[in-house]
Structure 1
Amino acid sequence: MYRKDINVTHIAGFIFILTAVNYPIFDSGLINYVTPSDNKLLQGTIIYGTQLILSIITVFVLIFRVQLSRLISKSNNIALTHFDGIFHWLYIYASLIYLLALLENIAWSHFELKSWTLIYDNFEGLIYIGWALCCGALLAMMISSTGSNCCNDKQTTGNE
């Protein structure tokens, strides 16, 4: 499948690589080692700020996916797909959630607005909505790509 449609490969690859960068950063506890646990403002700012930066990088990579794909591949089949217009919006949504979480963390820890926990209380659900839509779009992209490539042998016009 990945050999047949270079566009699908690049979209999925860019999303995978930029998502995979999160795991070594957060699973290793790197942020907890860098910031003292008693400084919740700094710790929350680094956590949400890192996620925001990675999400914004993903937005720009997906917006300029065709140009980046042409830089790294010599294939003549690289072109915009219908799905190129979807994925960056999903990451803009995620970036907005990260930004709101960052601002809420600043309000909560610096300005002592302890009642501001709307994003914090619903953070996982809000991010999972974006992930579910992204996974669904990836699946739909792969299905539509195989459907359009599998039946191009001969088209009948009805005059035969």
Structure 2
Amino acid sequence: MKFSQLMMLTIISLAISYIMIGNPKVTSEIYILVIALTALYGAIKKEPNILHISVLLLLINLVEYIIFAYEIININSFFDNEVLYGSLIFGIQLIISILSIFIFVLRVQISRAISHSSKIELTYFDGLFHWVFIYLSLIYVLAILENLARHLLGWHNITLIYHSFESLVYIGWAVSCALLLTMVIVTEKKHKQRRFEPS
């Protein structure tokens, strides 16, 4: 099986698994656990690029998880106002996602600011993670626009994002997990090559 086929199979499998679980809180916890395990791998193998990418992902997702799972912003008070409720939910997610784009565009600079390791470098994966957050930002923008159209303009038949929002987000998460898995596989291959190189 080719590497690209393995990555696509991983993305599809994870997306389906996340959708099948059906509980956003549990799915978030599984996603955060996968990221944490990758960070642990980066720490054990002394791979600062993997460690920093994973820790940044972990912090971003923990912030979002804590805000919504522990109701830091009390959204129950907005239930009567569907426009405000939807805009607040999707707006917070959009702000976090846009900040994440900048974080991953500047990942190498951030890594160098917090660590003086000579192994910190621009990796192939640095050019991919911010695209996951661009995709998620687009979903959040479409969700806000759809929410406004449904509740301000009375276009209640527009439910494309409303009915598939979680599945669309899970696709982004599955891509992130596939990228993390790919980073680990590529790193392991490099370690094996170094072991077998003549000294």
Q: State TM-score, norm by structure 1.
A: 0.91
* Percentage of pairs with the same residue: 44
The two structures, once aligned, show a CA RMSD in angstroms of 1.5
Deviations 1:48-75 (A, max 9, x none): 0000010111111011100000111111
> How much has 1:2 moved relative to structure 2?
1.9
> 2:149 — aligned with what?
107
Q: Is the 8 A contact 2:75 2:85 kept in 1?
A: no
Q: Is the 8 A contact 2:111 2:120 kept in 1?
A: yes
> 1:27 — aligned with what?
69
Deviating beyond 6 angstroms after TM superposition, the runs of 4 or more aligned structure 1 residues are: none
> How much has 1:23 moved relative to structure 2?
1.2
> 2:42 — aligned with what?
2
Question: Quick check: which one's helix share is greater?
Answer: 2
Give the secondary structure class of the aligned counterpart of 1:82.
coil
> 1:55 — aligned with what?
97
> How much has 1:135 moved relative to structure 2?
0.5
The structure number with the bigger radius of gyration is 1
> 2:177 — aligned with what?
135
Runs of 5+ consecutive residues of structure 2 not aligned to the other structure: 1-40
Q: Is the 8 A contact 2:108 2:122 kept in 1?
A: yes
Establish whether residue 64 from structure 1 lines up as the match of residue 106 from structure 2.
yes
Name the CA distance, whole Å, in 1 between partners of 2:101 and 2:126: 11
> How much has 1:34 moved relative to structure 2?
6.8
> How much has 1:153 moved relative to structure 2?
3.4
Name the CA distance, whole Å, in 2 between partners of 1:31 and 1:106: 21
* Structure 1 segment 69-108 matched on structure 2, within 5 A: 69-108=111-150
Aligned residues: 156
Runs of 5+ consecutive residues of structure 1 not aligned to the other structure: none
Name the CA distance, whole Å, in 1 between partners of 2:63 and 2:107: 18
Name the CA distance, whole Å, in 1 between partners of 2:102 and 2:76: 28
Name the CA distance, whole Å, in 2 between partners of 1:117 and 1:32: 25
> How much has 1:31 moved relative to structure 2?
3.6
